[in-house]
Amino acid sequence: MYLDVPSITVALNECNETYLIPLSECLDWKMLQNSLWNLFPNFTGRQFKVYATDGSRIPKAFYMHYAKDSAHFYVELKGTDHMISMHVELPEDYEGYFNMHLSPTTKLSDVKKYITSCVDICVDDMRFRKMKRRLEDDESIEEAESTEGNVITLTEL
């Protein structure tokens, strides 16, 4: 079902989910490891496992765990559409969906930039929502206090 591309499984923060990204420019296993370590320096763990459907040492799909500011994202490569569909899950029940179309010239660095920007967008949005909620809570508290004061004043009259 998936495109036949070099790939690996990366486990981060003991997360059990898997994520799929094409690595069209990684033809060698060592090159693949080095590329990942260079492109994703904030991995807290470097546990790599190879998945190959035909028993060879070159894996057929890249599953990846990545976390940033409590954001976990799910990336799936759809072989029929030649695109990456990315699902970003954040605290506060916020979710974001993104798509990136692939071509034969798509590079790992392009995929990395895409993933990073999607996660950044979602994290910024999550922070904005938290700040907005705090402001709304502060306003409702002030409104409740002023209403209570008015009730007391009316009762005294």
Please state the domain extents for the chain. 9-156
Q: Looking at residue 142, what is its pLDDT?
A: 67
pLDDT (average), residues 69-92: 46
Backbone angles phi, psi at 145, to 5 degrees: -65, -40
Instruction: Tell me the mean pLDDT in the region 4-15.
Output: 35
Confidence tier at 86 by pLDDT (50, 70, 90): low
pTM, to two decimals: 0.38
Question: Which pLDDT score, from 0 to 100, does residue 136 have?
Answer: 83
The DSSP output letter for 112 is H
Query: Which pLDDT value is given to residue 68?
Result: 45
Give the count of beta carbons closer than 10 Å to the beta carbon of residue 87. 15
Query: Three-state secondary structure along 75-106?
Result: EEEECCCCEEEEEEEECCCEEEEEEEECCCCC
Please state the rounded mean pLDDT for residues 13-23.
39
* pLDDT for 89: 55
Over residues 45-66, the mean pLDDT reads: 37
- Alpha-helical (H) ranges within the chain are 29-39, 108-156
Top pLDDT among 109 and 80 is at: 109
pLDDT tens digits, one per residue of 27-42: 444 555 555 555 555 4
Map tokens 């004061």 to a residue.
Answer: 149
Residue type, 156: E
Confidence at 19, pLDDT banded by 50, 70, 90: very low
Residue 152 phi, psi (nearest 5) = -60, -45
In 3-state terms, what secondary structure has residue 139? Answer: helix
